Structures are given as C-alpha cells and as structure tokens.
Amino acid sequence: MAAIALAGGNGRSGAKGMDIVFVGAGLANCLMAARLATQRPGLHMLLLEAGESVGGNHSWSCHDSDLTPAQRAFLAPFQSYRWAGHGVHFPAFSRTLKGGYATISSERMAEVMNERLCAAIRTNARVAHVAADHVVLEGGERIDARAVVDGRGPMASRHLDLGYQTFLGQELRLSRPHGLTRPVIMDARVEQLGGYRFVYVLPLDDDTLLVEDTYYADGPDLPADALRGRISAYAAAQGWAVDYVVREEDGILPIALGGDIVAFLGEIPAGVAPAGLRAGLFHPTTGYSLPDAMALADTVSALADLSGPALSAAVRAHAAAAWNGRGFFRLLNRMLFRAADPERRYAILQRFYGLSEDLIARFYADRLTLADKARILSGRPPVSVFRALSCLVETKAAPGSP
C-alpha cells in the first residue's frame, strides 16, 4: 500500500499545508486520489466529504470497451459486479450484446478508499468556501493547500444548454430467483411518459436486482413516488416476487445539447481544478461518467507539476478538449430532445441499436470514426426532417439566457 502523508494526524482536525485538497469524495475525486496515491507516494492529500461516507449512495457502470486494459486493471479492485454481456429491449426487437459490463457501488468505493487512504479522508466536512490555495469549512476552519480540486457534482450554469437524464433506482430483494444472467441496460417496452423512458436492470445475485426507472426528460423533475410505483408495476409484470427494498438511489444527470465550455469553466474560481460533472466530464448522450473520471485520473497522475496553477490549467484544458471533441454527440442529443416528439424519442434509440455491435461499442467509448458518424446519420431519420435541420447549429447558452 502506498504511504499517504497527512498533516494533523487522522485528518479530523488541524490539517494544514496540504499538497492537494479534494472537495467532495465522489467518483472523480476518489479515482484521482487513488491514482495519485499509487503514482506519488508521500503526497499530502485530504478528501473532504460532506456526507457520512465516501461515494454517497450511487452506482457507476461502464462497458469493458470504454476503458483501456490498464484502466480496467486499475479499476478491478473497485468493481462490485461484472457480467460477460448485456441486453436491450425495444418495441420492435430485443438484442443481446457480447460486450462486458461492470459496476462500482458506492459501498465498494468506500471500502477500497478507506483501505487505501483512510487517514486522508474526512467525512461530515461541509465546505463553505473554495479558493485556489485553501478551503473553508462551515464553522470557519481553514485548510491551506498547494492545490484544490472541486468535485462536488454538476452546477447550474447559463453557459450550458442541457437536457436531463433522471432516474430512481431500487435494489430489490426477491423471494425467489429472477433468472437473469446479464444486465438489461435499456428496456424501452414500457409506456413512454414525458420523454424517452426505459428501465435499467442489474442482476446483483440470484435473488437481488437493481431496477432503475429512467427518463431522458426536458426538465430535472424527479417525482419519486410515481417512479416507485412504476418500478413496482414493472417488477410485477416480469413475474418477480419482491420481498423487500434493500436501498434506493436517484439521480439527475446532465445531457449536453450545447454550450460554451470556456465560459462554463470560467465560472469556477480561478486556480481551482474542477473534476467530474463539475468539469463537464461525462458522455454527452449516455451520461456515463466512469470512463471520463478514469481518463482524468490518468491525466492528472501523469503531470510533472501538481501545483495549484499547473493542475488547474491542465484539468481545464483536458475538460475543454473533451467537450470540443464531442460536438457530434451534442448534435444527436438536440435531435433526440428537439426534433422528436417526447413519446417517440425511443425510436431514435431503437434505430441506433439496430446498428453493428462494434459501432455501438465505439459510440459508448467516444471513439466514433467518420464512417460511423455517416452511418448513424444515414437513411430516413425517425424524426421530422425540418425539425432535425433546425438542430444543426449548436447554441452557446441555455435557452432564455441573456
């Protein structure tokens, strides 16, 4: 285990003069800290988490093909579950894809981080102020640092044009085996309500499932009680006998339609390095953030200079480059959200999942070729042509922004 130096003993008080302070112990900051602990033993690091435990209450997934072999090896200890394939269901067809799929639970994230960096983690630490060389906690405690990384999740901005992926998930314990052998990452045979709706299912063991009711919606509303009822109805329709709900998680993820990434990053205090969703680092269409978090961790761990100005500049350049390289995905998103009627959005995904498995893998991995892009756009689109044409130009701000 790499040695992690921490001023102030166990990190509960008096931590001064840190090399790096991570604000928020979510996915991106945890992977960055763990990567640095491996690459740079002896760094004085501190992770500040407002909640009671590292990782919160989330699950993060990705396809094997989203990562390099080295990244998969690094993430292996964090993985809670892995399957050799996954499936999708649409009104017109069902399909099984052979690509591997893996999930990290927040519980497993907390276990690994506490094993590796326990002394460098401080929970129930709410941050009131973030600056380039220090943070201030609620209550007034100041912690100085050579560099500060802010990974507290997405922030509202007039410089981003967004749709939303909203979901509520329940881990269900069944009274008898469910019979699934692989995840169902999209079941769009359900009633389409207010946007593209699908159910996402992970078989955690023979008698336990994570079932998420998910929407590509125009707004960030999350009617929890209604979604709980729909999960219950879905489980009953599958013939699953639910014994009890183990736990529940929910989320409101950004889906990028357009924006000005430089202006967005400029809203973050000068000299502070953003991370994860706060840096705009997520797949614009799927909302997956694990591959981006791993790529950022690799970028930061390779830096020769980890001083605040250098780290902030490198992370912002990385985030801007990722955003600028993903204009095609934002175009597709605008067609999904603005050229298709909400109850017909599923037809775009249904058509996409009829393409080759290799192309689908490259789509998720953000490695599309020019031929792939042409193939995706070829043929008669399942949306209004006139409305599709209106989506060609990307806006630089949220609708209604001055």
Provide DSSP, 19-36: EEEEE--SHHHHHHHHHH
pTM: 0.92
Range 89-96 average pLDDT: 98
**Residue with the larger pLDDT of the pair 297 and 391:** 297
Q: In this structure, how many other beta carbons lie within 10 angstroms of the beta carbon of residue 146?
A: 19
Range 20-43 average pLDDT: 95
pLDDT at site 400: 66
pLDDT > 90? residue 384 = no
Give 242's Cβ-side CA count (13 Å radius).
20
Range 244-258 average pLDDT: 96
Which of 127-136, 196-205, 379-388 is predicted least confidently?
379-388
Q: How many residues does the chain have?
A: 402
Range 66-80 average pLDDT: 97
Residue 2: band (very low, low, confident or very high) from pLDDT cuts 50, 70, 90: very low
Measure the CA–CA gap between 187 and 27, rounded to whole angstroms.
26
Q: Which residue type, as a one-letter code, is found at position 38?
A: T
Tokens at 13, concatenated: 């008080």
pLDDT > 80? residue 12 = no
Which of 102-116, 188-202, 234-248, 373-387 is predicted least confidently?
373-387
**Mean pLDDT estimate for the chain:** 92
Tens of pLDDT, residues 353-368: 999 999 999 999 999 9
Measure the CA–CA gap between 87 and 183, rounded to whole angstroms.
6
pLDDT at site 280: 96
Measure the CA–CA gap between 61 and 108, rounded to whole angstroms.
13
Q: By percentage, how much of the chain surpasses pLDDT 90?
A: 84
pLDDT at site 41: 84
Range 390-402 average pLDDT: 73
Q: Which residue type, as a one-letter code, is found at position 73?
A: A
Residue 387: band (very low, low, confident or very high) from pLDDT cuts 50, 70, 90: confident
Measure the CA–CA gap between 289 and 141, rounded to whole angstroms.
32
Which of 168-172, 188-192, 288-292, 377-381 is predicted least confidently?
377-381
